[in-house]
């Protein structure tokens, strides 16, 4: 993809991927922040390791369909992982695709992720991500879900403790998933940012305090581990167009009563 040369355009764009120079992937060679899963996967080979989120999301891992559609890719992964893993499905049952998701969910989501954007703007804020995720669940399921938005207003010790608690609970619970809104370049060290971005969390290694990001920017990245403290700072990175990031936690509750 081509790099944008206008700072304002960059500030108003979510997920846009910069042109890459000949720098080491994931940051300085002597001290990278991120560790790609292909080179660091011992966590999943430990005896008795369940890691339910990893296996659910991995089954539906997709790339964003354009430079702005990270939210659609992340939400499609979450919906498929929440709705299509355990239910019986026939040969006629399709997976939820980004294209169908954007077509079926009402609102400005499709316009915001299009090449032309909406009023010069591309991508979603954390609040918009929450709203469209709720709309996607309502569109494709009669079940009831709890959708919680957590803005990363700061990155201090208290916030890190709370994030670690949420990640630890999420790792043990097969009935919830987390999507993060963060500054991608804070973790990958890509030049030209900030690049606000959205992707699901695949796992949390509490012993090593590391988070696995299922980055949907698959033209450039694979899943990678980052320190939980680094992720918190990337979520708390404030931009003019999108404010601060954070995370959305989706939990299964039950079946809605029929009218």
Q: Give 86's DSSP letter.
A: S
Q: Where are the domains of the chain?
A: 33-85+94-255
Instruction: Report the distance separating Cα 189 and Cα 193, nearest Å.
Output: 9
Instruction: Report the distance separating Cα 138 and Cα 91, nearest Å.
Output: 23
- Per CATH, the homologous superfamily of domain 33-85+94-255 is Phytochelatin synthase, N-terminal domain (3.90.70.30)
pTM of the model: 0.90
Residues whose CB is less than 8 angstroms from the CB of residue 215 and which lie 6 or more positions away in sequence, other chains included: 184, 197, 199, 221, 222, 223, 224
Q: Span 130-139, mean pLDDT?
A: 97
- Please answer whether residues 57 and 199 qualify as being in contact, where contact means their C-beta atoms are separated by less than 8 angstroms: no
pLDDT at 19: 53
Is residue 215's pLDDT more than 90? Answer: yes
CA angle, 24 as apex, 21 and 29 as ends, to 5°?
Answer: 145
Give the alpha-carbon dihedral of 164, 170, 173, 178, to 10 degrees.
180
For 21-78, write each residue's pLDDT tens digit.
Answer: 567 788 777 788 999 999 999 999 999 999 999 999 999 999 999 999 999 999 999 9
Is residue 9's pLDDT more than 50? Answer: no
For 78-116, write each residue's pLDDT tens digit.
Answer: 999 999 988 888 898 899 999 999 999 999 999 999 999
Instruction: Report the distance separating Cα 196 and Cα 213, nearest Å.
Output: 14
Give 176's pLDDT tier (boundaries 50, 70, 90): very high
pLDDT at 27: 78
């Amino acid at each position: 993809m081509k790099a944008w040369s206008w700072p304002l355009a960059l500030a108003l764009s979510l997920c846009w991927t910069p042109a890459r120079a000949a720098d080491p992937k994931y940051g300085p060679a002597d001290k990278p922040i991120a560790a790609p899963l292909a080179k660091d996967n011992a966590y999943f080979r430990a005896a008795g390791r369940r890691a339910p989120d990893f296996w659910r999301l991995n089954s539906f891992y997709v790339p964003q369909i354009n430079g702005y559609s990270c939210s659609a890719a992340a939400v499609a992964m979450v919906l498929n992982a929440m709705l299509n893993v355990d239910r019986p499905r026939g040969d006629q049952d399709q997976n939820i695709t980004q294209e169908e998701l954007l077509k079926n969910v009402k609102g400005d989501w499709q316009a915001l992720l299009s090449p032309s954007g909406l009023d010069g703007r591309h991508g979603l804020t954390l609040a918009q991500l929450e709203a469209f995720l709720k709309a996607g669940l309502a569109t494709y399921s009669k079940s009831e879900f709890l959708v919680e938005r957590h803005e990363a207003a700061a990155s201090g010790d208290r916030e890190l403790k709370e994030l670690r608690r949420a990640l630890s609970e999420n790792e043990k619970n097969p009935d919830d998933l987390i999507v993060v809104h963060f500054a991608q370049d804070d973790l990958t060290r890509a030049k030209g940012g900030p690049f606000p971005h959205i992707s699901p969390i695949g796992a949390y290694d509490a012993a090593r305090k590391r988070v696995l990001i299922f980055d949907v920017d698959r033209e450039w990245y694979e899943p990678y581990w980052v320190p939980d403290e680094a992720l918190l700072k990337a979520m708390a990175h404030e931009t003019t167009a999108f404010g601060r990031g954070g995370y959305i936690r989706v939990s299964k509750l039950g079946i809605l009563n029929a009218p």
